[in-house]
Structure 1
Amino acid sequence: MYAETLDAMGIDWLRIRPSEAPFHDIASGKQVIPLGQIDLPITFGDPTNYGMETLTLEVVGFHGSYHAILGMPCHAKFMAVPNYMCLKLKIPNLHGVITVGSSFQRAYQREVESCELTSAVIASEELTVIGEETTEEAPDTKRNTGSFEPTEGVKEILIDPDNSRDKTVRIGIALSSK
């Protein structure tokens, strides 16, 4: 669950207890350190047919496109069967099957928001790394800063050998691995 969802629900932060371990693959394949855990009752269905269980949710301090992500612990407690192709979650109950669903438009919108957030996080991390690497490198005093001509050897490579023989790119052969 995202911290902003917890705030929107008006839940007291004193109910959060320390989390035992980080988890992976929620934010752009990165490890996430939760702010803590909270036990909340979760209900699926309608007044005539519903299921309710208390789930332990990890609270994270970043923004997500959903209110919460309910994974395997939720599916196990509710004995739910997800169908990702149809965007449905089927939950068996005494009074029949509870079906939780979403629209493809809403799922697509959430996916776009999630991709944009992930791209922004990755770009920010890459800029930090680039900044650290460039401050470590000493400036090359032999290079003429007012010229685009290389001071060392170059190799010309055809951009598209099948379509155009005159469009090339020149790459310095003495570039560092960075």
Structure 2
Amino acid sequence: MDPIVGNTRLSKVLMDGGSGLNILYADSLDAIGIDWARLRPSEAPFHGVMPGKQAMPLGQIDLPVTFGDPSNVRKETLTFEVIGFKGAYHAILGRPWYAKFMAVPNYTYLKLKMPGPHGVITVGSTYQHAYMCEVESCKLASAVLAAEELALIRENIPAEAPNSTRKVGSFEPTESIKEISLDPLGSSEKKLRVSATLTPK
């Protein structure tokens, strides 16, 4: 039983009791069909969603969230922080959601229970669905970190124009060099090239 956010059923929602926010991705906002003009300004950045960096929300929005079936429905309005980067889920429901719905999770059985107007509402998932979401989330996090590391490497490598006169495979020292005879007595003409900045030792 997937939650209905706004007027759209979202199949990939993370229930995160450790998160202090309810988060909705911009792609999900578009899928729901909500005009971005409804977003309120949000000034506070947060951490823990984007690996290794803080995130600034695009804004806040209040949306109705519904759980249950026609015989036993629970509907509450929640405030979501809308974020503009990709995620493995459609939304993340955090502690404010748990408190408002008075929901109790059981992570062993992948079940969530909350009071409804006509008894307990039970929300469940399959281990396969949870595993696939976790794999997708890990792949996305790895891709983001790899892209950031690549950008950092590119910033630190000076851009050099290719030298058209240089022969492919030829060795060219990048600093001043000196030649040292391989034979200490000087009887051989064979010499070794070393950096001029090396100490005599």
TM-score (norm 2): 0.65
**How many pairs align?**
143
Larger Rg: 2
Structure-2 residue corresponding to 1:125: 148
1:36 and 2:66 correspond:
no
Q: Percent identity?
A: 64
Corresponding letter in the other structure for 2:28: T
| Unmatched runs of 5 consecutive residues or more in structure 1 | 145-150, 153-178
Matches within 5 A, 1:110-149: 110-135=133-158, 141-142=174-175
- 3-state SS of 1:44 partner: strand
Q: Structure 1 142/7 Cα, relative in aligned 2: closer, same or farther at 3 Å?
A: same
CA RMSD of aligned residues (A): 2.1
- Match of 1:69, SS state, is strand
Q: Does the alignment pair 1:80 with 2:103?
A: yes
TM-score, normalised relative to structure 1? 0.73
Deviation readout 1:47-71 (Å, 9 max, x if unpaired)? 1112111000011111212211101
- Per-residue deviation, 1:15: 0.8
Matching residue's letter, 1:38: I
**Separation in 2, partners of 1:84, 1:143:** 65
2:34 to 8, 11, 25: 11
Higher relative contact order (CA 8 A, sep 6+): 2
Distance 1:29 1:95 in 2: 44
In structure 1, distance between residues paired with 2:107 and 2:87 = 19
